[in-house]
């Protein structure tokens, strides 16, 4: 599906950073077709995607049902004229498009800079395909420079934080500093009413192992490592160009041959 955006759709005078975000969102919107159930991510790049899809709804008659990953994305989607539903309503999604704070050559991600990684991971793993929209600054050889968020329940959070710090002694990371995420003078709270501990690790030697270790700790709800979830990354550039990186280049042919691109898909059956 090729989508045409008028010249004035991207506001004039965008900064190079915002142009890169828009370019990736514009390209990713071309993957969306009428009738799809689409997960909508959270963050500044995802906000551009919602704008693009809103334009397609109004100008082209695009009909989709969207599951937002945060309350602020839901509010923006409704304002754009996009039908918003819950994951319970649709059961399964054709596609999720979201941003990322970092991605590595295997398309493993760190997400959660906006504090929505719990819903983002639930929505992404309930999708046939996850596309990440981003800019070149998020591409890294090894994950870990961006702080890794860990969502925890408020009850006994100090003890949970201590357990998290102790667990880091047994994994391959570059540093072991943790901070409670704040919102001004108060602890930041997620849409689920939880707290976030940010781990300043510098380098993550084994993302899969670290994710499993963290999620075994009592009090931990979810961490921001997305391992083996993302299929495609769309990179937008400051000059308006875009490029697509596919982990599985010919995804459609695998589906036609009976292959499975998401190990959780049978949950919907």
Tokens of residue 90, six digits: 């649709």
For residue 122, what are the β-bridge partners?
none
Provide the pLDDT confidence category of residue 148 given band limits of 50, 70 and 90.
Answer: very high
pLDDT in tens, 212-249: 999 999 999 999 999 999 999 999 999 999 999 998 66
Terminal C-alpha separation, the chain: 28
Question: How many other C-beta atoms can be found within 10 angstroms of the C-beta atom of residue 263?
Answer: 10
Please, are residues 43 and 73 in contact by the beta-carbon 8 Å criterion?
Answer: no
Name the token pair of 124: 């992404």
Q: Which of 18, 80, 102, 120 is catalytic?
A: 120
Tell me the fold of 148-218: Alpha-Beta Plaits (3.30.70)
Minimum mean pLDDT range among 30-34, 128-132, 249-253:
249-253
pLDDT at 101: 97
What pLDDT shows up at residue 88? 96
Query: Quick one: 218 exposed, middle or buried, by C-beta within 10 A (0-12, 13-18, 19+)?
Result: exposed
State the average pLDDT for the chain.
Answer: 91
Calpha distance 264→246 (Å, rounded): 20
pLDDT-derived band of residue 22, with 50, 70 and 90 as boundaries?
A: very high
Name the residue ranges covered by the structural domains of the chain.
16-138+228-250, 148-218
pLDDT-derived band of residue 5, with 50, 70 and 90 as boundaries? low
120 has catalytic annotation: yes
Out of 3.40.50.2300, 3.40.50.1360, 3.30.460.10, 3.40.718.10, the CATH code matching 16-138+228-250 is: 3.40.50.1360
What's residue 255's pLDDT? 47
Which residue is it, tokens 């540093």? Answer: 175
Could you report the per-residue pLDDT of 108-137, keeping only the tens digit for each? 999 999 999 999 999 999 999 999 999 999
Higher pLDDT, 261 or 242: 242
For residue 135, the tally of other CB atoms under 10 A from its CB is 22
**Residues contributing to the annotated binding site for substrate:** 42-45, 98-101, 111-114, 138
Q: Do domains 16-138+228-250 and 148-218 have the same CATH topology?
A: no
pTM: predicted TM-score of the whole model, two decimal places = 0.88
pLDDT at 204 over 70: yes
Band the pLDDT of 1: cuts 50, 70, 90. Answer: very low
């Amino acid at each position: 599906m090729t989508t045409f955006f008028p010249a004035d759709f991207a506001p004039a005078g965008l900064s190079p950073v915002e142009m890169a975000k828009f370019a990736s969102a514009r390209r990713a919107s071309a993957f969306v077709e009428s009738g799809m159930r689409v997960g909508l991510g959270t963050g500044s790049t995802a906000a551009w995607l919602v704008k693009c899809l809103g334009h397609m709804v109004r100008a082209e008659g695009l009909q989709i049902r969207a599951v937002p990953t945060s309350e602020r994305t839901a509010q923006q989607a409704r304002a754009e004229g996009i039908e918003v539903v819950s994951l319970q309503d649709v059961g399964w999604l054709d596609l999720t498009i979201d941003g990322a704070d970092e991605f590595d050559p295997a398309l493993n991600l760190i997400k959660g800079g906006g504090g929505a990684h719990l819903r983002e991971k639930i929505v992404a793993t309930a999708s046939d395909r996850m596309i990440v929209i981003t800019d070149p600054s998020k591409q890294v050889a090894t994950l870990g420079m961006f702080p890794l968020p860990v969502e925890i329940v408020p009850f006994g959070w100090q003890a949970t934080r201590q357990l998290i710090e102790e667990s880091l002694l047994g994994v391959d990371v570059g540093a072991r500093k943790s901070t409670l995420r704040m919102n001004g003078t108060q602890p930041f709270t997620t849409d689920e009413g939880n707290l976030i501990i940010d781990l300043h690790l510098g380098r993550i030697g084994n993302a899969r192992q670290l994710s499993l270790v963290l999620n075994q700790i009592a009090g931990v709800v979810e961490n921001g490592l997305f391992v083996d979830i993302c299929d495609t990354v769309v990179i937008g550039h400051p000059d308006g160009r875009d490029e697509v990186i596919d982990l599985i280049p010919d995804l459609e042919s695998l589906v036609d041959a009976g292959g499975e691109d998401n190990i959780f898909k049978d949950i919907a059956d």
